[in-house]
Amino acid sequence: MGNLSKLLSGIRGLTWQSVLMMAIGCVLIYLAIKKEYEPLLLLPIGFGAIMTNIPGSAAVGEHGFLTILYDAGIVTELFPILIFIAVGAMIDFTPLLKQPVTLFFGAAAQFGIFAAMLLAAGANLIWPGIFSLKEAAAIGIIGAADGPTSIFVGNLFAPRFMGAITVAAYSYMALVPMIQPPVIKALTTKEERKIHMDISYDVKVSKTVLILFPIVVTIVAGIVAPISVPLIGALMFGNLIRECGVLEHLSQTAQNELGNLVTLLLGITIGSTMVAKEFLTLNTLLILCIGLLAFVFDTGFGVLFAKFVNLFLKKKINPMIGGCGISAFPMSARIVQKMAQAEDDQNFILMPAIGANVAGQIGSIVAGSIILALLS
């Protein structure tokens, strides 16, 4: 009878909250498989959420493998750092170096981080004590459109909201093709979207510059914001592996095996933080709403900044590339190129768009590091 009771303990422990969370996990898996929304991350997050919400699950707890992964990879911030090495190995900074002006768009588009942070902090006016200042900052980082940075800052400032912050960050990154076009169209005219930009194919970037760039960026960013060294250093180290020319096999390994494996472990570990009693709250709903607004603000401010710059330029730039300053690489650049060709099939702005997109990768890390430096 005792053994039968143990067998039925899982059924007796079921609550509507745990069932709902398992259903949410199934929805994430569906979106990953059927809609192909960030499948490498949403699928393991969904499965992790299912495992952690099964009553009495041995996957979590003192000896649970998900808890061990969380302590080893998230608490120590190892997983985000390893992912940045992989991302760095994937990025080609040549478009940015050919058109350095795009770096400003990468900075301007980080406005969404600070706007979202203010919104989260302002929520205390309606619901006193709902978010601390550090938690508001961690929520704001969703606007970086950069999953690893969101995880890095969230782990330090808002560990209790890690699940909600990560799901929001990666879900909205996957939905960038749906979020950005309406915002960009609302802020630009048809004539502006038709603007052609000269692509500097004749401008050559030397191998020496490509090798020195990650080294110089690491040193400069590290001196300005020492707390940024783990993030920017890992990203630039990955890029140095790519550009040095003597570690081709290692570069491919970082881009593929390392990136895929760590993302898989990261996803299933983050899914384990989506415990019903902590996830099904007003806080989570607000985080999801503020995160969406952060992406809208990012895109909108980037476009408006590009339009502002055009006031002083004789040769106009296509303001749509301002919306590429977010860290969703290379998805955002491809969206803008598609929108440009929808207006004029001979309009090719992919290269400057990628330059702004790559700049956003750097800008998101720097913005996150500034927040860490100010609030740590």
Q: Please spell the DSSP secondary structure of 213-225, one letter per residue.
A: HHHHHHHHHHHH-
Tokens for 47, please give them. 């499965």
Residue 118 maps to a domain = yes
Residue 2 maps to a domain = no
Residue 1 maps to a domain = no
Q: Residue 75 sits in which domain range?
A: 12-375
- Tell me 273's DSSP state: T
Q: Classify residue 250 as exposed, middle or buried by CB count within 10 Å of its CB (0-12, 13-18, 19+).
A: middle
Contact between 304 and 187 under an 8 Å Cβ cutoff? The reply is yes
Q: Report the pLDDT value the prediction gives residue 158, as an integer from 0 to 100.
A: 92
- Quote the CA–CA distance of 179 and 331 in Å, as a whole number: 12
pLDDT tens for 163-196 read: 889 888 888 887 888 899 999 999 999 999 999 8
Residue 4 maps to a domain = no
**Dihedral over Cα of 221, 262, 111, 182: its sign:** positive
- Name the helix (H) or strand (E) containing 44: helix 39-52
Contact between 31 and 4 under an 8 Å Cβ cutoff? The reply is no
Residue 60 maps to a domain = yes
Contact between 211 and 242 under an 8 Å Cβ cutoff? The reply is no
Number of structural domains (the chain) is 1
Contact between 336 and 177 under an 8 Å Cβ cutoff? The reply is no
Q: Report the pLDDT value the prediction gives residue 6, as an integer from 0 to 100.
A: 61
- Quote the CA–CA distance of 126 and 221 in Å, as a whole number: 38
3-state secondary structure (DSSP) of residue 132: coil
Tokens for 225, please give them. 């914001």
Q: Report the pLDDT value the prediction gives residue 220, as an integer from 0 to 100.
A: 92
Residue 171 maps to a domain = yes
Tokens for 310, please give them. 């055009």
List of the chain residues with pLDDT < 50: none
Residue 6 maps to a domain = no
pLDDT tens for 83-117 read: 999 999 999 998 888 888 888 888 888 888 999 99
Q: What is the CA radius of gyration of the chain?
A: 21
Residue 7 maps to a domain = no
How would you label 79-100 residue by residue, b for 16+ Cβ within 10 Å and e otherwise? bbbbbbbbbbbbbebbbbbbbe
* Average pLDDT in the chain: 89
Contact between 126 and 277 under an 8 Å Cβ cutoff? The reply is no
